[in-house]
């Protein structure tokens, strides 16, 4: 009965049960007892990572979550609910493949999502004419220490995105006896989840900022928890979580309790100067921790320079590196059908305390990082950005050397 329970065998034929039991035993027998999943921060030496794919990507349909992000981007809005151009998919796929190759050449293990058919989704609570795509594992999976949490995403077109990573997670589970595989409550995303009449044709940035100052996001509380994994940034014993369109208070509270089991404190933060808030790693990125008398380095976008979280870093011996003004190429390109702003430039990946991966077109940022003694690994990434994000978004680090450290001693999460 124990083996039957472990292997998830139901009331099927005896032959099927025996076959599955043998398969399960083989899987358990191949466990190496190795540490596969282990990442406490954004900057310790990287050993294994997931890199996204461009296959099957779409401009998501007109749904509350998507519209809250792109309400000010008419070229994206006009293409909502369409599959991305095949040539764009090819170019973005080539950039992602090159990215994976660059990492592998540096001795980093790279995994890729399972290719899935982009189909319509129908549940008892909602319908979506298509799915989003699988370019950004950073949004679906949150790795903290030896745990991977599947995030409960609030975009209806993304509710089933996580299944492209199930094969990878099952492999980790078989190989790493200490790996914890967790998931936020699978979201039902009924209409009641979204604030009524949030999107108006005559909306302005000023009016939207007034709404956000009152913390009126497109998602509401009291229905169910939602958060994107990219709403969280990891810094050892502390994880900072952005209250945003994609993360409600209930989602934060669920995540806070989950992380506390692993000795990690979660802190809810807010960025009132961002008019379409979602994903903290497009505004702030810790790159190097404080050591001895040397300050740490945290990269910050100028629009959020006065945010509470930035002040916390300053108080705890982190030097704030202001991201130089990036080229707003997507704002000039009528063929750009993405959702990211120019500040996606700071969405970079640290390979260790001295090495970062940066898009080759972000020349001013590269120069600023080199002045801080970082080695910049540069690569083309413009085509990928349209598919949902930058270099950090397109990855999920699975294993980094180093242990859980407290870079904010004395900082206590609110009860």
- Please identify every residue annotated as catalytic: 228, 279, 393
Q: How far, in Å, CA of 8 to CA of 21, rounded? A: 9
Q: How far, in Å, CA of 217 to CA of 219, rounded? A: 5
Cβ burial, residue 223 (10 Å; 0-12/13-18/19+):
middle
Q: How many CB atoms lie within 10 A of CB 283?
A: 28
Tokens of residue 142, six digits: 């949150």
Q: How far, in Å, CA of 96 to CA of 54, rounded? A: 8
- Please compute, for residue 101, the number of CA atoms within 13 A of its CA located in the half-sphere on the CB side: 8
Q: How many CB atoms lie within 10 A of CB 212?
A: 21
Per the CB < 8 A criterion, the answer to whether 252 and 393 are in contact is no
DSSP E strand stretches across 158-207: 180-183
Residue the block writes with tokens 């979506």? 128
Q: How far, in Å, CA of 322 to CA of 408, rounded? A: 21
- Please compute, for residue 277, the number of CA atoms within 13 A of its CA located in the half-sphere on the CB side: 31
Per the CB < 8 A criterion, the answer to whether 340 and 389 are in contact is yes
Length reported for the chain = 415
List Cβ neighbours of 117 (8 Å cut-off, separation of 6 or more). 56
């Amino acid at each position: 009965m124990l083996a039957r329970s472990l292997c998830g065998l139901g009331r099927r034929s005896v032959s099927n049960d025996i076959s599955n039991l043998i398969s399960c035993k083989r899987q358990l027998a191949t466990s190496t007892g190795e540490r596969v999943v282990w990442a406490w921060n954004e900057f310790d030496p990287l050993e294994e990572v997931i890199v996204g794919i461009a296959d099957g990507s779409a401009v998501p349909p007109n749904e509350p979550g998507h519209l809250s992000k792109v309400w000010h981007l008419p070229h994206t809005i006009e293409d909502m609910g369409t599959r991305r151009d095949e040539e764009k998919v090819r170019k973005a796929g080539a950039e992602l493949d090159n990215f994976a190759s660059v990492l592998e050449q540096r001795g980093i293990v790279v995994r890729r999502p399972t290719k899935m058919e982009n189909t319509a989704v129908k549940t008892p609570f909602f319908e979506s004419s298509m799915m989003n795509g699988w370019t950004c594992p950073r949004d679906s999976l949150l790795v903290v220490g030896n745990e991977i949490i599947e995030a409960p995403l609030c975009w209806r077109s993304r509710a089933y995105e996580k299944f492209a990573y199930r094969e990878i997670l099952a492999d980790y589970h078989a190989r790493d006896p200490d790996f914890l595989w967790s998931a936020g409550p699978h979201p039902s995303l009924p209409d009641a989840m979204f604030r009524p009449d949030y999107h108006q044709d005559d909306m302005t940035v000023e009016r939207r900022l007034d709404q956000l100052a009152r913390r009126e996001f497109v998602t509401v509380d009291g229905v169910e928890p939602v958060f994107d994994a990219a709403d969280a940034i990891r810094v050892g014993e502390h994880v900072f979580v952005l209250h945003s369109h994609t993360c409600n208070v209930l989602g934060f509270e669920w995540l806070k309790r989950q992380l506390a089991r692993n000795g990690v404190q979660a802190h809810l933060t807010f960025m009132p100067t961002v008019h379409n808030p979602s994903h903290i790693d497009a505004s702030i990125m810790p790159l190097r921790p404080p050591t001895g008398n040397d300050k740490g380095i945290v990269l910050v976008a100028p629009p959020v320079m006065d945010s509470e979280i930035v002040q916390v870093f300053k108080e705890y011996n982190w030097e704030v590196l202001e991201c130089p003004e990036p080229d707003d190429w997507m704002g000039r390109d009528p063929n750009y059908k993405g959702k990211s702003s120019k500040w996606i430039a700071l969405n970079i990946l640290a390979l260790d305390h001295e090495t970062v991966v940066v898009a080759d077109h972000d020349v001013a940022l590269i120069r600023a990082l080199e002045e801080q003694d970082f080695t910049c690994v540069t690569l083309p990434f413009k085509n990928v950005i349209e598919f949902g994000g930058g270099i950090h978004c397109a990855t999920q680090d699975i294993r980094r050397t180093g242990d859980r450290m407290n870079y904010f001693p004395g900082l206590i999460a609110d009860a």
